[in-house]
Structure 1
Amino acid sequence: MPPLFIIDASGYLYRSYFAIRNMTNPEGESTNALFGFIRSLEKLMKEFSTEDIIAVFDGPKGGKQREAIYPEYKAHRAKAPPDLYYQIDWARHWCDLSGVPNLSLPEVEADDTIGAIAKWAKNIGREVYLCTSDKDLCQLVNGHVKVLNTFKDNLILDEKGVKEQFGVRPDQIIDYLAITGDASDNVPGVPGIGPKGAAKLLEEYGTLENVLDNAEKISAKKTKESLLANKENALLSKKLVSLIPDVDIPKDEKFFERKAPNHPELKAFYQKMNFVSLLKELDQETPKETSTADYQLVNDEASLKALIKTLQGAKEVSFDTETTSENPLRADLVGLSFAIEEGKAFYVPVNGALKPDKVLGTLKPVFENPDIGFYGHNVKYDLHLLKNVGIEVKNLSFDTILASYILNAHERRHNLDYLALTEFEKVKIPIQDLIGKGKSQVTMKEVSLEKVSEYACEDADYTLRLKKRFEKELKERGLLDILVDLELKLTPVLALMERHGIFLDTETLAPLKDKVLKELKTLTHEIIELAGEDFNLSSPKQLGQILFEKMGIHPPKKTSTGFSTDADVLEKLSEDHPIAKKVLEWRSLEKLRSTYIERLPEDINPRDGRVHPTFNQAVAATGRLSCQDPNLQNIPVRTELGREIRKAFRPEKKGWSYVSCDYSQIELRLLAHLSEDEALIKAFKNNEDIHQRTAADVMGVSLDEVTKEMRHQAKAVNFGVLYGQGDFGLARELGISRKEAADFIKSYFDRFPGVKKYIESCKEEARKTGRTKTLTGRERLIPEIDSKNGMIRQAAERLSVNTPLQGTAADLIKFAMIKIDRKLKERNTLGYMILQIHDELIFEVPDDEIPLFEDLVPRTMQSVWDLKVPLVADLKVGKNWKEC
């Protein structure tokens, strides 16, 4: 007979809730506890091949019997978070769909139900595993019943294990807990006697009653006094920790048998919860249908000729490239795949039976035919690969990664495998099945043509299917223009920037390494001195122990895994504790050292000696571009070291310079336009210093009377408004009281009522529609706006205000980049665009073209849109990035 596994489901859920953070479904509802619960149970069922199992949940109003005995029972325990409650119902629903028997009895706690099932199972001779981390249930351990703690590497406690861990036998656990008490359940116990003391007493006297009867004989004065003073509490505690007998449970063994899972319903449930990894695993368990796809390998002259004829007769073609590297500027082209109808695709190897020149020479005129639209998934990568072999796509018509991003900007994943799964329930061939991973990984060049062909054809086929679906949805939601007129036109502009890259002077950068290492060594010594002992500064856990345990500093924030030592916490502490300030300095220096000073030289492409960052269009939910490998957008400009790192970037050729042009206060200008606040509009039209004007208006003084401190405070409020900062945040930033901050914010909104009205309208629109929009119509879903979790909901409200501003600013500079690129090509300039740093563009320019750029760039940036306030772009020229 197989063992019976009894799951402490409530304990699993509670533990998962605090172990996993910030998981939500598309509706903005928390799913962290549910996901952790499912993962834990699936792991358990797989590792132990469970046949008989029961998941036990706390019943509604569980604990009433103990509350009747002791009204203060669990009175000190904080209420379960609101977003945990509904996950309990989902967990029971998952159990039903997965065929896992489950039980929740009214007014009965899970421990008591577990106890009743364990005793019944033992009496009929069943072997039982109690899957829990709750020490209370160790009282059930005997020859038939063991505790299995899956949170401690499947630690199994039998009678000997309980004795080793607690110092008492399982039948003494009740007495042990009665003495030690339980703060989480508000079980009083006997104050002053801990686990070791309790075990020692029970070792000598056997039971709680015997301990109390012999209290006068105990030599330890404090122990004796506490036992005599707390006799009633000890006996009460024993009643509270004893499992309640006579719980009515099912006693049919078939009830505990695991049933077959309902795959279709589980799939729908996982899709609703957005559990992608679980969807993939479920798909692998579901019987597969035979594929009907027609995927063809084109590897001879006749089939290539036939393919060319097919492509030339198409209006649009889905295509994809297979290569040797994720870095397009270091990759070799291995082959190309094409699709013009669902379920049918072709793969053409570049190094197959036909010579590369033959393949590429035949395909070149097809790609460069402006009457044929070509599209792909993350097509900027493919443009690079084609450019590497001398081919340019003349008619770029669609990109499914950009379409997915525009439709679902709040989603983090837009890769082809994910979209095929979520849109078509298709599990694509994993790339690891072809090239492996880790040290044994190979490139596509080394994989058999047949395997690469199937993989590549599948990519082109599902890109085509996604295109059909996404194009229809973009039209229906009025978003197609954002793809066609903005993102697709920007793609080749970014590709050109990436190909140009930027020159890094390693000789300028090299001395910074020694300087920073010296500063880090000094800071480390100073921090160790303040701490009083050596520790690993890179370890948040060790830092937390030093600050909050050894030094006794009050922790502003604690997580489920220990003390938080994030930047916010250290900023708060730094006002009164020098060690926190120095740790912040150390972290800042260490990040610049590891991310830039030592890493940047590794990013230089050996083919041309330049750094080629990648600009991502489908990452930031606001519409902003992001930058990686390396991320040059995050090099600080306000620190001396950051500026010295920027100095290492300079034009490669003599007689060249950098020209930078930066939108001035773009988000505040857009706030004026969108809010239509008359006072704000007037200030910008009069070309006033907006922070000085805000200070004058809010503080009731003339412009001439505004001090530097007043302007600083006004600037903090101006930008704080954009990011939903409240009185607490402003007070902390300015070092003033919360009342002063609240008064400042109120005065601001009294003076700029249009801004207040605009902010409230953004929140209201998000509540009504669940989304927010930029001036161009770009949407961002904000499902968390109705979250039952207050912190999540407030963050969503801040996004509803900031996204239209930041997103509109992002779209504005994208349009500017497209126009500038076109004008530079019309003038056939030697100078070119190399970087976009959010509101700033940087160009590498021969000195004799500087006057042209000084005129063309700011004029174009300032005339992109006609707003209610003027756009201003500030221009600088320098011999390196620092000077710009």
Structure 2
Amino acid sequence: MTSEKVFIVDATGVIYRSYFGIKGMTNLKGQSTNGIFGFIRSFKRLLQDFSPSHIVAIFDPIDGKSKRVEVYQEYKAHRESPEDIHYQIEWAKQFCEFYGIPLLCVPGYEADDTIACVAKYMESLKKEVFICTQDKDLAQLINEHTKILQPHKNNLIIDRSNVESLYGVKAEQLVDFLAMVGDSADNVPGVKGFGPKTAAALLKEFDSLDGIYENISSIKAVKKQETLLSEKESAYLSKGLVQFYYDVVIPEKEDFYQLNDPEPEKLRNFYQSLNFKSLAQELPKKQLADADASLEEKKYYLVNDEVRFEELKKVLKKAKEICFDTETTGLHPLTAEMVGIGFCIKPEEAFYLPLNGDLKKDHIIEFLREIFSDSSKSFFGHNIKYDCHILANTNLPFPKVNFDTILASYLLNAESRRHSLDALSMDNFSKEKIDIKDLIGTGKKQISMKEVLLEDVSRYCCEDCDYTFRLKNIFEDQLIEAGLLPLLIDLEIPLSKLLFDMERQGVFVKKELLLELSVEFKAQIKELGEEIFSLAGEEFKISSPKQLSHILFEKLEIPAPKKNKTGFSTDASVMEVLKYQYPIAEKVLIYRKYEKLLSTYVDALPLEICAETQRVHSTFNQSVAATGRLSSQKPNLQNIPIRTKEGRRIREAFCPQRENWSFLSADYSQIELRILAHMSEDPELIKAFAEEKDIHAYTASLIFNVPLEEVSYEQRYQAKAVNFGIIYGQQAFGLSKELGIGIKEAGLFIDRYFERYASVKKFIDNTKELAQEKQEVYTLSKRRRKIPDILSKNKMIKQAAQRLAVNTPIQGTAADIIKFAMIKVQKALVNKDLKGFMVLQIHDELLFEAPDDELDILKQIVKEQMESAYKLRVPLTVNIKVGKNWREC
């Protein structure tokens, strides 16, 4: 039956395209996974779009040998495969096995030959054949039965009707076309100097390669005649290379090509080994089907009557260490209401106490207040800062916290993003937890946890508590073994309480000022838009890269500096190049600046203001940035612009809420360079900081060999770029772009820098070597970051890993120092009983809100505590500013 479809997949081709198209994917062992990930995604998209009953994945032979080499020794002679693609091909074969996909790999024959033979066999069975590939050579197989399907172009189908529009020739002419054009990647020589247009024109006139040579005297261009005659042997050699061998022995049983049932558990383990969380989540959830049965093994109790309540009271009053988890009406820590709370004091036993059940809520709250106020008890949880916010929302005290499994996971694997309880349960216990979506749904049909059956919420919450308890037992031992427990207990846990306080305090933002800026910026955007339309000669959507590209590079015929996959690029780097010659490019940059400020800050921040407090309450994350830095979200208050005039006006909206109060900003001066001086023990750097020199001018005087007092502004600027570039592993190319100088000149700057700061060069080299040996690096406080990519065979990935290896100890130490400083400052503020408080941390800067009459003592405390937070070989220096708004600081 012609309606039956068969899909033949060029598996090797799909893997290679994914390998080069997807950057920087590795599993926890540091092995590259970009090729196999793209391969699996392509297969799943194919299965989803077409639901095939018959399919086959065809691979090149393992040894890569081809009969074509016997004909032409140079065939694919210079085409070396990356080392880290071979094991991904083997993984792809495993995936096919687990997914039930038939595969073929015939020794001595390339995948293309096997594909051609399978296609012809299927045509003989009157099947409709789809060859899934991006290889143009396989297009010669297109006929009334066979089509090409391109996975990389959203499964675009090419048939006889559109071959000519794509290649300029008919399907049956493609062999001769490919023979003439050649293929540099495979070392198919072709006809020298003949491109696609020339080849297509000749084939259109003479029909075939034979026809061209039979009528060569009819070709008017003498040079073409001469080339064809001199290249005749090459042309026919090339034809032999691009034609397929049809003697491949393949299974000639239709059943062989039938798609079989997948094996979900094998796939699950396979995905987990490759760290493919999203793919694992797409598999059927076996555990959920057996959830009720699993409760027989575990003791999960719903506490919804007086008898159970009394039992729970006895259990918790005896316990010294308690794991707890809250269930709430939402995710925002300051607005979510508690629906219930779960407790666990030993594995496989947990209790859920609902606030919306049959027990009186005030009795429950009274008991909870008693438990959480007991200083003899310690509490832990997963992301416990959030749960403590929920306690505070219920007017319950902040408990004595001694552990947090999300912070423990982060300290053990800072480079990982798999710190959620679901991910950790899967990774450590192969446990697929109940999905919250199965309880409350999604989208418009989503309900509140208050509306879910108590029994279902109980099972969900008890499971959370149980697996958090188990994780704590595992992580605690691992932290001790790695020497990381002090970092959790002495730094991250105390910091969590301080961040809790900062989040509840929030920061005041003048809504009226932002509304004024909104009106002004919108007027600027409108005016700029009209100027751009005038220069373009028509109206268009300025924010559309496609439309802007058409205006600039087609209508206005501006030379395009850069091309991307979809056409000519209009990104910021391109506009920066063009702005000096073309006013429209400069206007577009300014237009984009105002649009960004408007959408990200001016119009967005008023929506984040809490109606009750009139303040913005951001969330500070301790388990996101791999270097140890804090991050801020909902909203992000660490990226409020400062470098532009318009950005500083946005900062003006941040101010104290009360009269006669001010902001105080305390900022570490060049902390990363000071840490570099300490770690490298470089005598010149240490001397400069010890003598309180201007470090950039000092570096300039060394590099340019001029007296310090004679260093020019430009020399200092260049030295500053080198100083900071070194920390981030910047090479000559990057420095040349930043300074607008030649690569050779930038390289000389770096060479001179290392001549003067020889110990810095030694430190960088030693750090890279250590990272290569250990696949991890450390901060001064022993925080570690694994760098698995340093073993990558991919040069770009390895170089990026080397830059991380150098930067992480420096930036991570800076992050730790300011964390220690925050804790010290907070302790001093409490001891002095000051009204002022910390509102923000912006990496190396702390922002305080305080009464004016406390500013003098606050300056003293902050400076003393921050500068003594960590002992280095060079002094830590803090700059303090005071103002009535953030801009003035």
Helix, strand or coil at the partner of 1:509: helix
> For the Cα contact (< 8 Å) 2:702–2:756, is it kept in 1?
yes
How many residues end up aligned between the 2 structures? 882
Deviates more, 1:518-527 or 1:366-375: 518-527
> What letter is aligned with 1:629?
K
* Residue equivalent to 2:43: 41
1:562 and 1:787 map into 2 onto residues whose CA distance is 31
Q: Do structure 1's residue 381 and structure 2's residue 396 form an aligned pair?
A: no
Q: Do structure 1's residue 279 and structure 2's residue 280 form an aligned pair?
A: yes
* Residue equivalent to 2:758: 753
* Offset at residue 84 of structure 1 (A): 3.5
2:67 and 2:181 map into 1 onto residues whose CA distance is 22
Change (3 A) 1:320 1:879: same
* Offset at residue 803 of structure 1 (A): 0.8
2:167 and 2:620 map into 1 onto residues whose CA distance is 57
> For the Cα contact (< 8 Å) 1:831–1:843, is it kept in 2?
yes
> For the Cα contact (< 8 Å) 1:20–1:33, is it kept in 2?
yes
Deviates more, 1:219-228 or 1:251-260: 219-228
Change (3 A) 1:262 1:451: closer
Q: Do structure 1's residue 119 and structure 2's residue 124 form an aligned pair?
A: no
Change (3 A) 1:569 1:310: farther
> For the Cα contact (< 8 Å) 1:374–1:393, is it kept in 2?
no
> For the Cα contact (< 8 Å) 1:178–1:190, is it kept in 2?
no
Residue-by-residue CA offset, 1:526-568 (whole Å, 9 max, x unaligned): 5556666655443344555666666777766655555555445
> What letter is aligned with 2:55?
I
* Residue equivalent to 2:606: 601
Change (3 A) 1:812 1:858: same
* Residue equivalent to 2:805: 800
Residue-by-residue CA offset, 1:232-269 (whole Å, 9 max, x unaligned): 77656544443222123344556545556565554443
Helix, strand or coil at the partner of 1:370: coil
Residue-by-residue CA offset, 1:320-350 (whole Å, 9 max, x unaligned): 1111221111211111111122222211111
Q: Do structure 1's residue 813 and structure 2's residue 815 form an aligned pair?
A: no
Residue-by-residue CA offset, 1:21-59 (whole Å, 9 max, x unaligned): 322112333211211111222343455554543211233
Residue-by-residue CA offset, 1:359-415 (whole Å, 9 max, x unaligned): 111111101111221111111111111011111133101111111111110012311
Change (3 A) 1:544 1:376: farther
Q: Do structure 1's residue 863 and structure 2's residue 868 form an aligned pair?
A: yes
Q: Which residue, out of 27, 30, 36, partners 2:32?
A: 30
Q: Do structure 1's residue 270 and structure 2's residue 271 form an aligned pair?
A: yes
* Residue equivalent to 1:296: 301
Change (3 A) 1:162 1:676: closer
Change (3 A) 1:810 1:150: closer
> For the Cα contact (< 8 Å) 2:381–2:468, is it kept in 1?
yes
* Residue equivalent to 1:658: 663
> For the Cα contact (< 8 Å) 2:169–2:203, is it kept in 1?
no
Q: Do structure 1's residue 790 and structure 2's residue 795 form an aligned pair?
A: yes
5+ residue gaps, structure 1, are none
> For the Cα contact (< 8 Å) 2:191–2:228, is it kept in 1?
no
* Offset at residue 654 of structure 1 (A): 0.7
Q: Do structure 1's residue 89 and structure 2's residue 90 form an aligned pair?
A: yes
Q: Which residue, out of 697, 703, 711, partners 2:702?
A: 697
> For the Cα contact (< 8 Å) 2:373–2:399, is it kept in 1?
yes
Q: Do structure 1's residue 637 and structure 2's residue 642 form an aligned pair?
A: yes
> For the Cα contact (< 8 Å) 2:335–2:393, is it kept in 1?
no
User: What are the equivalent positions in structure 2 for 1:416-435 lying under 5 Å apart?
Assistant: 416-435=421-440
> What letter is aligned with 1:130?
I
Residue-by-residue CA offset, 1:112-141 (whole Å, 9 max, x unaligned): 110112223434566644333445434435
> For the Cα contact (< 8 Å) 1:128–1:146, is it kept in 2?
yes
2:58 and 2:287 map into 1 onto residues whose CA distance is 28
User: What are the equivalent positions in structure 2 for 1:527-676 lying under 5 Å apart?
Assistant: 527=532, 535-543=540-548, 559-560=564-565, 562-568=567-573, 570-571=575-576, 582-676=587-681
2:53 and 2:190 map into 1 onto residues whose CA distance is 40
1:15 and 1:319 map into 2 onto residues whose CA distance is 48
Q: Do structure 1's residue 243 and structure 2's residue 244 form an aligned pair?
A: yes
Change (3 A) 1:635 1:688: same
> What letter is aligned with 1:41?
F
Deviates more, 1:290-299 or 1:407-416: 290-299
* Offset at residue 746 of structure 1 (A): 2.1
Q: Which residue, out of 676, 682, 685, partners 2:690?
A: 685
Q: Do structure 1's residue 109 and structure 2's residue 130 form an aligned pair?
A: no
Helix, strand or coil at the partner of 2:57: strand
1:205 and 1:98 map into 2 onto residues whose CA distance is 48
* Offset at residue 9 of structure 1 (A): 0.8
Change (3 A) 1:820 1:29: same
Change (3 A) 1:665 1:697: same
Helix, strand or coil at the partner of 1:843: strand
* Offset at residue 594 of structure 1 (A): 0.8
Q: Do structure 1's residue 17 and structure 2's residue 22 form an aligned pair?
A: no
Change (3 A) 1:476 1:171: same
Deviates more, 1:186-195 or 1:383-392: 186-195
Q: TM-score, normalised by structure 2?
A: 0.90
> For the Cα contact (< 8 Å) 2:340–2:352, is it kept in 1?
yes
> What letter is aligned with 1:22?
G
* Offset at residue 187 of structure 1 (A): 6.8
> For the Cα contact (< 8 Å) 1:504–1:648, is it kept in 2?
yes
Deviates more, 1:773-782 or 1:209-218: 209-218
Q: TM-score, normalised by structure 1?
A: 0.91
* Residue equivalent to 1:875: 880
Change (3 A) 1:604 1:318: same
* Residue equivalent to 1:368: 373
Deviates more, 1:852-861 or 1:251-260: 251-260
5+ residue gaps, structure 2, are none
2:652 and 2:145 map into 1 onto residues whose CA distance is 72
1:149 and 1:673 map into 2 onto residues whose CA distance is 55
* Residue equivalent to 2:855: 850
* Residue equivalent to 2:783: 778
* Residue equivalent to 1:130: 131
Change (3 A) 1:697 1:213: closer
* Offset at residue 821 of structure 1 (A): 1.3
Change (3 A) 1:19 1:401: same
* Offset at residue 225 of structure 1 (A): 11
1:546 and 1:107 map into 2 onto residues whose CA distance is 52
Change (3 A) 1:226 1:587: farther
> For the Cα contact (< 8 Å) 1:133–1:149, is it kept in 2?
yes
> For the Cα contact (< 8 Å) 1:180–1:195, is it kept in 2?
no
1:529 and 1:94 map into 2 onto residues whose CA distance is 56
> What letter is aligned with 1:664?
S
* Offset at residue 229 of structure 1 (A): 9.7
* Offset at residue 590 of structure 1 (A): 2.2
Residue-by-residue CA offset, 1:439-491 (whole Å, 9 max, x unaligned): 22222122222222222222111111111111111111110111111000001
Helix, strand or coil at the partner of 2:667: strand
Change (3 A) 1:873 1:155: closer
Residue-by-residue CA offset, 1:630-653 (whole Å, 9 max, x unaligned): 111111212111110000111111
> For the Cα contact (< 8 Å) 1:19–1:561, is it kept in 2?
no
* Residue equivalent to 1:767: 772
Residue-by-residue CA offset, 1:739-759 (whole Å, 9 max, x unaligned): 332222222222222211111
Change (3 A) 1:728 1:180: closer
Change (3 A) 1:17 1:558: farther
1:524 and 1:192 map into 2 onto residues whose CA distance is 46
* Residue equivalent to 1:358: 363
Helix, strand or coil at the partner of 1:455: helix
* Offset at residue 286 of structure 1 (A): 8.5
Change (3 A) 1:558 1:775: farther
> What letter is aligned with 2:376?
D
Deviates more, 1:90-99 or 1:397-406: 90-99
1:728 and 1:176 map into 2 onto residues whose CA distance is 41
* Offset at residue 737 of structure 1 (A): 2.9
* Offset at residue 418 of structure 1 (A): 1.4
Deviates more, 1:113-122 or 1:871-880: 113-122
> What letter is aligned with 1:779?
R
2:523 and 2:25 map into 1 onto residues whose CA distance is 42
2:225 and 2:754 map into 1 onto residues whose CA distance is 66
> What letter is aligned with 1:634?
N
Q: Which residue, out of 451, 456, 460, partners 2:456?
A: 451
1:80 and 1:684 map into 2 onto residues whose CA distance is 50
> For the Cα contact (< 8 Å) 2:671–2:876, is it kept in 1?
yes
